[in-house]
Structure 1
Amino acid sequence: MTPFRAIAVFYQVATLNSVRAAAQALNVTPSAVSQQLRTLEEQLGTALTITRNRKLHLTEAGERYFELISDNIAGIEAATALIRGTPQSTTLTIRATPTIATKWLLPRIKGFLDENPSIDLRLDGTNEPTDFARDHVDLEIRHGMGRWPGLHVQPLATEHFLPVCSPDFAAASSLTASDITGLRQIRSVKAQIQWPDWFTAQGLTPPKAPRRLSFDRSHMAVDAAAQGLGIALESTLMMDEELRAGRLVIPVSNPPKIPITTQWLACPPSHLTRRRVRRFLDWITIEARNWETETI
């Protein structure tokens, strides 16, 4: 009979993507965890984990086994907590850049919390990409082109980059595209659409020596525009609240819409077996589709 202790240890290792982290969670030594893994692999007759470049990964058999046992182990943990009389909660850790976390996710997250009262949410705001083998992160909202081999990746939403400013700086639809060439242009240096792209889409030659105010974070560019420091070129996803509240307006009539996806939901495929991850993915997918419909 396969020892349940070894199965439970493997579950922790697969969940945390780390022998060391599993050892800390179980209050045992890493060598004890490794021994339990070897015992289970011997019982099953197949390797469940493999180490590449000092990082632990599940083998194909390990991913399949983890998928098969996850719901059962979670159910046992829930039953144990119930018998003990301990209120059960599950922590979901989401990593996202500060801009998407504060400008788009935070204003909507109450809906997820209301629908999932047993889930405690930890929101990790950073621009550093997640090392899922080391970091205790369930899911990342990652900025980029969406090409990360080995991860489950799905788009968050289709965005449009538009020129915006404070209504005190310029009224809505009061400027032409050529007017902007002589005004201070605010930009985020990491944005995938820049002012030359926008001018080209308008059929204009980008100014050779524009006045610029540059930031390395999109939320700073959005805030600078709202404070009347110039005109920003930003994603509708990043300035949704400011546009709705009227703190930002679009000063150009019928600007070209440049559709692009810059934010992606990413995690190891094995994380999709976690109930908390599936619930968040289901919720945020519907939330993003509703947002797209509202902003068309």
Structure 2
Amino acid sequence: MQIPIRAIWVFHTAARAGSISKAAEELSVTPSAVSQQIQALEVQLGVTLMTRMGRGIVLTEAGERYFATITDEIEGIAEATNTIRGYRSITALTVRATPTFSAKWLLPRLGSFLDNHPDLEMRLDGTNEPTDFNRELVDVEIRHGDGRWPGLFVEGVAEEEFLPACAPHYAAAGSLDAAALPGHRLIHSVKSQAQWGRWFSLAGVDPKERWRRVLFDRSHMAIDAAVDGMGIALESTLMMESELASGRLVCPVRTPPQVRLITQWIVCPRDHLRQKKVRLFLDWLRSEGSAWQARNLPAA
């Protein structure tokens, strides 16, 4: 039996794109031509591979199995074809992440991922704006929040610990009781999920005086302000990793209450998980997150 290579390629493109029209645009053909190729493949295989849903498509159980089976081979053929033509195969991966996570945690590690995958060309967008995956060409987002985004694949990066932190010349490590902090200038990250009011409640402190505050809408600004001696910040050990390791920041409180949260989440449509480039990035991110947590977060 002759293998319908063209139809298989068209099916793979449509399944990966999640849309007949997007596949048609990628292949430079009409949507009708894409549909005809897929129908011909279904007739030859004797199964239904996908159904339309709104403007998109949904794979049947047989379609899911078939797509998973052929994906690595299709990508291998594409790579081999580009290689034999004398071109280096390049796959583009677009990742969106918050500015603080991008600058403080992701960038120092990203070189190892790119070194291990030289055929990936990566674009990193640093923004707090959530991705509209129906309109924006973003493969994976690392989103700040509570992890509740129905309809999307969501997985936490790592559990973080939130600690008061300041420059050692402002206050030495372990030199203050929690009750003394309201007398200091407190640095606030206004979008953080850990705020000073909750921290004081957990520490059993009822501030009687008005706080001296400085507020920032980005955590990296709050961290940098603390390093400069502006006051005491309440920040995540995930984001302050470099500053804590170098001694530029210390925890001035002798026995701080334990505040642990997951605030950074891997987010993408579930059909993006079919793409090899996405799976490679997620596997690396999981490994890095687990290693960080094992090194930096003592057992509760």
- Judged with a 3 Å threshold, the aligned counterparts in structure 2 of structure 1 residues 266 and 220 are, in CA distance, closer, same or farther, namely same
- 1:89 equivalenced with 2:90 (yes/no): yes
Partner residue of 2:58?
Answer: 58
Distance in 1 (CA, whole Å) between partners of 2:262 and 2:191 is 14
Separation in 1, partners of 2:132, 2:208? 41
How many angstroms apart in 2 are the aligned matches of 1:293 and 1:287?
10
Structure 2 contact 140–278 (Cα < 8 Å) conserved: yes
Given the alignment of the two structures, is residue 182 of structure 1 paired with residue 203 of structure 2, yes or no? no
SS at match of 2:174: coil
| Partners of 1:2 and 1:256 in 2: CA distance | 64
Aligned residues: CA RMSD: 2.5
Code of the aligned partner of 2:260: P
Deviation at 1:127, TM superposition (A): 1.5
2:247 paired residue number? 246
Tell me which amino acid in the other structure corresponds to 2:233: A
**Residues 1:187 and 1:69: Cα distance change in structure 2 (over 3 Å):** same
Give 1:12 shift: 2.6
Mapped partners of 1:29, 1:49: distance in 2: 18
Point out where structure 1 has 5 or more consecutive residues left out of the alignment. none
Cα deviation 1:158-197 (Å, max 9, x = unaligned):
1001111122322222222112112221122221111011
Q: Secondary structure at the match of 1:241?
A: helix
- Asked if 2 retains the 8 angstrom alpha-carbon contact of 1:165 and 1:228, the reply is yes
Q: How does 1:89-238 map to 2 (within 5 A)?
A: 89-206=90-207, 209-238=210-239
| Matches of 1:57 and 1:217, distance apart in 2 | 39
CA–CA separation in structure 2 for the residues paired with 1:221 and 1:240: 14
SS at match of 2:183: coil
Q: Name the stretch that deviates more: 282-291 or 38-47.
A: 38-47
The 3 A distance-change label for structure 1 pair 226 and 34 is farther
1:245–1:28 Cα change, 3 Å: farther
CA distance in 2, matches of 1:130, 1:40: 34
Q: 1:60 to 1:184 in 2, by over 3 A?
A: farther
Give the TM-score normalised by the residue count of structure 1. Answer: 0.88
Distance 1:51 1:131, change over 3 A: farther
The residue identity in structure 2 corresponding to 1:237 is L
Tell me the matched-pair count: 294
Q: Deviations over 1:192-241 (max 9, x none)?
A: 11101111111112457322222222112212222222211111111111
- Offset, 1:68: 2.6
Partners of 2:287 and 2:208 in 1: CA distance: 41
Give the aligned partner of residue 76 of structure 1. 77
Give aligned-pair identity as a percent.
54
